[in-house]
A and B are shown apart, each in its own frame.
Chain A
Amino acid sequence: MSYQETRTGASIFSGILVFAAYCLYAFNPTRMAALPAGDLKPWATTMLIFIAIGIGVAIVTQILFHILFSIFLAARSKIENEQSDDKDIKRAIDREMVEDERDRQIELKSMRIGFIVAGVGFVSALLAVVFGYSPVVMLNIFYLSFMAGSLLEGAGQLFYYRRGA
């Protein structure tokens, strides 16, 4: 697996963690029972907190991934050639972490998947209100569709890396 693919995998992993954490926390029956019906404020607050958590987790995951991947490449470089010095190791790392036009094309293509999912979520949220569901449902559909869009964007990237862009 290439650097870009593994990095995408790490992003998906952190996205799933935040998604699962939100679902477990926000849809906890005890919490939901305690909330005043139709009040959007606690939901909006929770979502804002989880957006901040999501950004934090994504940054930490990427930093950890970068460090671990560099260690892996350095170890591999040493195993392949015991005489390799720091310069060789740095060169091996730089070689592996190149981002080129194919990566950008794949990113754009998969971003389109993310936008489609978010767009479908937006329409579904509006439809939910039209069909008489509470604004809380609408807000959750908004939020979850953006999260799902981000996850599917990552899955799309992996798909394009495997199948070809």
Chain B
Amino acid sequence: MPKKFEISNNIRRLRFFANEMTQQDLAEKVGVSRQTIIAIESGKYSPSLELAFRIADVFGVGIGEVFQCELKSE
């Protein structure tokens, strides 16, 4: 049986260090709605690989610094 992974992210922290970038600003930069950024930040939606790279690109960091994958204990 495949192991379960939980994806977490540092978008809130990265926004804070990017001059308190708003969710709307980030959404416009990556071409999605603010609701999608809210959903990603709160872990309700896992973005596509392309969107994940675009988000990382906005902050100028690697994708691993934005998203982390943890093995979930069952």
Q: Which residues of A contact B (CB under 8 A)?
A: 2-4, 95-96, 98-103, 161, 163-165
Q: Which residues of A contact B44 (CB under 8 A)?
A: 163-165
Least CB distance, B36 to chain A, in whole angstroms: 4
Asked whether any CB of chain A lies closer than 8 Å to the CB of B28, the reply is yes
**Is A2's CB under 8 angstroms from B39's CB?**
no
Asked whether any CB of chain A lies closer than 8 Å to the CB of B68, the reply is no
**Is B47's CB under 8 angstroms from A98's CB?**
no
Q: Which residues of B contact A99 (CB under 8 A)?
A: 33
- Cα distance, A2 to B38, chains bound together (Å): 12
Q: Which residues of A contact B51 (CB under 8 A)?
A: 101
Closest B residue by C-beta to A105: B45
User: Number of residues in B with C-beta < 8 Å to the partner?
Assistant: 17
Q: Chain A contact residues: over half helix, strand or loop, or mixed?
A: helix
Least CB distance, A9 to chain B, in whole angstroms: 15
Residue-wise interface mask of B (40-66) relative to A, using a CB-CB cutoff of 8 A (1 in contact, 0 not): 001111011001000000000000000
- Cα distance, A164 to B34, chains bound together (Å): 14
- Cα distance, A121 to B50, chains bound together (Å): 39
Contact of B36 among A3, A95, A96, A100 (CB under 8 A): A100
16 pairs of residues in contact across A and B, judged by CB atoms under 8 Å:
A2-B33, A2-B35, A4-B33, A95-B27, A95-B34, A99-B33, A100-B32, A100-B33, A101-B36, A101-B47, A102-B32, A102-B36, A102-B39, A103-B33, A164-B45, A165-B39
Closest B residue by C-beta to A163: B44
- Cα distance, A101 to B36, chains bound together (Å): 9
Least CB distance, A112 to chain B, in whole angstroms: 17
Q: Which residues of A contact B31 (CB under 8 A)?
A: 98, 100
Q: Which residues of A contact B39 (CB under 8 A)?
A: 102, 164-165
Least CB distance, A3 to chain B, in whole angstroms: 8
Q: Which residues of A contact B43 (CB under 8 A)?
A: 164
Q: What 10 new A-B contacts, CB under 8 Å, besides A98-B31, A102-B33?
A: A95-B24, A95-B34, A100-B31, A101-B32, A101-B47, A101-B48, A164-B43, A164-B45, A165-B39, A165-B45
Closest B residue by C-beta to A161: B35
**Is B35's CB under 8 angstroms from A4's CB?**
yes
- Cα distance, A25 to B13, chains bound together (Å): 58
- Cα distance, A103 to B3, chains bound together (Å): 28
